[in-house]
A and B are shown apart, each in its own frame.
Chain A
Amino acid sequence: MKATVLVRPKQGILDPQGDAVQHSLHKLGFDVSTARVGRVIDLELEAPGVDEARATIERMCAELLANPLIESVEIQVDGS
């Protein structure tokens, strides 16, 4: 089964990397008011179903993939 975890800096958390990207886009002439930089983690895993996969990935996020103090996660499980 394939799944994707999107990890983003939480709202309100200072994201200096995103600010640098936004400034650089501005220099290139793009009218971008905000850029936030996160992380994409593509996973392939064995699971009996989508719900079980999601539950497992939630544990992965809690134990390693994200730090809940500063990051939010969005889990997408490919059901096909």
Chain B
Amino acid sequence: MSSRPVVAVVTFPGSNDDRDAAWALGAVGAEPALVWHEEPELPAGTGAVVLPGGFSYGDYLRTGAIASLAPAMTAVRRFAASGGPVLGICNGFQILCEARLLPGVLRPNRQLEFVCRDIRVRVENAETLFTRRCSADQELVIPVKHGEGAWYADEAILVQLVARGQVVLRYGEDVNGSLGSVAGVINEAGNVMGLMPHPEHAVDPLLGSADGGLLLAALVDAAAAHTLVPA
């Protein structure tokens, strides 16, 4: 038996970063487990869940809307409700918003162009499960690649989220017209987070940055801690 914490990565039809996410999680100490979206249960001993990037269901209807109803998402909801750490990356963020597990929604980029480049993101809250390996106000370099990454919510909701420290990451530059430059948010309970940048593409300096590894390694820490919680 491996002593590495199990991190489940859910593959939806149209996911395309599931294997990259699994590889990157393995590189930072996890035992990744790919889970097909039709699975009604997560693998035994799952310590954390990653919803990967991609274009689930071809972005039909609204990005993430169809995937949010997949059988595996029922298991993810249960896991999240029990305090399990869940990280949604890009399309995974869109799915978590559509599943109402995170506030807001991701809309088409203001400039109507797909954006694909390394960007700077600032850590607004370094106290979360996912950012504990970062320092406050640290600037991370992580790539984005999305056409619908403009986060939106009512102004009043944004004010409330900022007050509660739920805006975890902000863009350090204009990327997509996201309200308040929001790049990543966390739920009120602090165990479900979504972000548009792709930490799994930034775990090796050879590829330009290893900053994404800080977020994923923190997730693996959280997975190990959650695994120790008696069921």
Chain A residues engaging chain B, CB cutoff 8 angstroms: 13-14, 16-17, 19-20, 39, 64-65, 67, 69-70
B156 within 8 A of partner (CB): no
Q: Contact between A16 and B108 (Cβ–Cβ < 8 Å)?
A: yes
User: A70 touches which one: B61, B105, B111, B177 (CB < 8 A)?
Assistant: B105
CA gap between A38 and B77 in the complex, in Å: 30
Per-residue A-contact encoding for B102-142, CB less than 8 Å = 1, 0 else: 00110111111000000000000000000000000000000
Interface residues of B in 47-77 (CB under 8 A from A): 61-62, 65, 69
Q: Contact between A16 and B65 (Cβ–Cβ < 8 Å)?
A: no
Q: List 20 A-B contacts (CB under 8 A).
A: A13-B107, A13-B152, A14-B107, A14-B110, A14-B150, A14-B177, A16-B109, A16-B110, A16-B112, A39-B61, A64-B61, A65-B61, A67-B65, A67-B98, A67-B105, A69-B104, A69-B152, A69-B154, A70-B107, A70-B152
Q: Contact between B105 and A69 (Cβ–Cβ < 8 Å)?
A: yes
Inter-chain contacts of B109 with A (CB < 8 A): 16
CA gap between A12 and B48 in the complex, in Å: 38
B153 within 8 A of partner (CB): yes
CA gap between A61 and B118 in the complex, in Å: 37
5 closest A-B pairs by beta carbon, nearest first, are A16-B112, A69-B105, A16-B108, A20-B112, A67-B105
User: A17 touches which one: B104, B112, B150 (CB < 8 A)?
Assistant: B112
Q: How far is the CB of B146 from chain A (nearest CB, A)?
A: 14
Known contacts A69-B154, A70-B152, A17 near B62 by CB under 8 Å = no
Inter-chain contacts of A64 with B (CB < 8 A): 61, 65, 69
Q: How far is the CB of A11 from chain B (nearest CB, A)?
A: 13
CA gap between A65 and B61 in the complex, in Å: 7
